[in-house]
Amino acid sequence: MQDFKQGFDEGRACFRTMVNQELTITLIDDENNLEVSANCRDISETGVALEISHPVDVGTLIKIHLDCDDQISVPLMHCRGKVQRCEVESDELYLLAVEILDCK
């Protein structure tokens, strides 16, 4: 069996599907919920990578809203997730590693 290294500590052991899909997420907060646009970069059974224009704290709960799309094999309609990592990609682009908690 071959050991595949990705260059960083990765928690997702599942196969990833590369996508480029706009979607809406809601950042869940005790005080208010903020709805923002994001781009789905890749998805697996247990997680998703999202590009967003501002940083998000690790541990933040989010709701993912995406109508059914042929491009994504794992449905993301009304999923809840938790931000596991937030990395700076460029001046106005951040990559969120999100663990999928559940989907309706």
CATH number where 68 lies: 2.40.10.220
What is the predicted pLDDT for the residue at 69?
54
In a domain, 79, yes or no: yes
In a domain, 65, yes or no: yes
In a domain, 45, yes or no: yes
Q: What is the mean predicted confidence (pLDDT) over 16-40?
A: 86
Q: What is the mean predicted confidence (pLDDT) over 29-57?
A: 90
47-102 pLDDT tens trace: 999 999 999 999 999 999 876 555 555 556 678 999 999 999 998 999 999 999 98
Domains in the chain: how many in total?
1
How far is Cα 61 from Cα 83, in angstroms, rounded to an integer? Answer: 6
- Bridge-based pairing state of the strands 93-103 and 47-52: antiparallel
In a domain, 83, yes or no: yes
In a domain, 12, yes or no: no
The pTM of the full predicted model, rounded to 2 decimals, is 0.76
Domain holding 72, by residue range, is 17-103
Q: Up-side HSE of residue 47: CA atoms within 13 Å toward CB? A: 17
In a domain, 6, yes or no: no
Q: Quick one: DSSP state of residue 69?
A: -
